[in-house]
């Protein structure tokens, strides 16, 4: 007789009441125990301290200023609670703290997804579970907007290489990328090697480290011009 895995203790932070309740119900359906659903960054920090969840799903812009309160709270929570998985789920790419969040704890157990681009519930739940397993999941649009902050490295990549970079950011393996782009796995490996070489980054077999290396490069890119 199989034993069901315990529900994933989750804190949800979203200022929109309808979206917050909808997300809470959705997560409960897929085996997440939403121990708190809050509407601002202060309440998020208090809920994490009280409930000690495994996962936080948070919006970026919340009261009182509706700028980057949720993102700053997520960065602080990752620092205060090692091992806490965090997924930022937002309508916006907030560049000021994005790389700080994605670099936290070596880029393990973290994600940044855009609400309007979440088109499949099963895929979204799979992304949350990848983050829980220590993976890194970043929407390709987040990567593209961060790349635009430094146009020089972006100009080095071909269109296909940018597509592959987007797939890497979503946490896909080389084999999965090959299937999604309808190319051979060897071709994907070559594209990844080219990306790392063009961005002056050392090769690595670890998907998370590749994504984090690109983001770290972007953060310090002004000094490389």
Within-domain flag for 60: yes
- Integer Cα distance of 205 and 189 in angstroms: 10
Chain segment 1-51, per-residue pLDDT in tens? 444 567 899 999 999 999 999 999 999 999 999 999 999 999 999 999 999
103 and 193 co-located in one domain: no
191 and 86 co-located in one domain: no
Say if residue 209's pLDDT is above 70: no
Q: Are 107 and 78 in contact (CB under 8 A)?
A: no
Question: How many folded domains does the chain comprise?
Answer: 2
- Considering only CA atoms, which of 78, 60, 218 is closest in space to residue 150? 218
Chain segment 149-202, per-residue pLDDT in tens? 655 555 677 888 888 888 887 778 899 999 999 999 999 988 888 887 777 665
Question: Among 123, 149, 175, where does a domain finish?
Answer: 149
Q: Are 116 and 101 in contact (CB under 8 A)?
A: no
145 and 163 co-located in one domain: no
- Integer Cα distance of 140 and 142 in angstroms: 5
Tokens of 186: 């060897």
114 and 12 co-located in one domain: yes
Within-domain flag for 154: no
Provide the residue range defining the domain that includes 175. 159-223
127 and 219 co-located in one domain: no
Chain segment 83-101, per-residue pLDDT in tens? 999 999 988 888 777 888 8
76 and 20 co-located in one domain: yes
Q: Which residues are CB-contacts of 131 (< 8 A; sequence separation ≥ 6)?
A: 55, 85, 86, 87, 109, 110, 111, 137
């Amino acid at each position: 007789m199989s034993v069901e895995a315990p529900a994933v203790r989750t804190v949800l932070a979203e200022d929109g009441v309808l979206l917050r309740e909808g997300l809470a119900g959705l997560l409960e359906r897929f085996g997440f125990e939403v121990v708190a659903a809050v509407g601002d960054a202060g309440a998020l920090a208090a809920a994490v301290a009280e409930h000690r969840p495994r996962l936080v799903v948070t919006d970026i812009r919340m009261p009182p200023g509706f700028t980057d309160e949720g993102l700053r709270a997520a960065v602080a929570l990752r620092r205060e609670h090692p091992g806490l998985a965090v997924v930022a789920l937002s309508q916006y790419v907030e560049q000021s703290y994005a790389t700080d969040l994605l670099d936290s704890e070596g880029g393990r157990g973290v994600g940044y997804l855009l609400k309007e681009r979440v088109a499949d519930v099963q895929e979204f739940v799979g992304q949350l579970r990848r983050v829980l397993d220590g993976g890194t999941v970043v929407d390709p649009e987040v990567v593209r907007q961060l790349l635009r902050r430094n146009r020089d490295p972006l100009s080095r990549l071909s269109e296909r290489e940018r597509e592959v970079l987007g797939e890497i950011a979503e946490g896909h393996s080389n084999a999965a990328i090959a299937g999604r782009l309808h190319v051979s796995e060897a071709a994907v490996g070559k594209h990844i090697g080219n990306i790392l070489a063009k961005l002056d980054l050392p090769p690595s077999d670890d998907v998370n480290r590749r994504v984090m290396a690109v983001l770290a490069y972007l953060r310090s890119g002004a000094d490389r011009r």
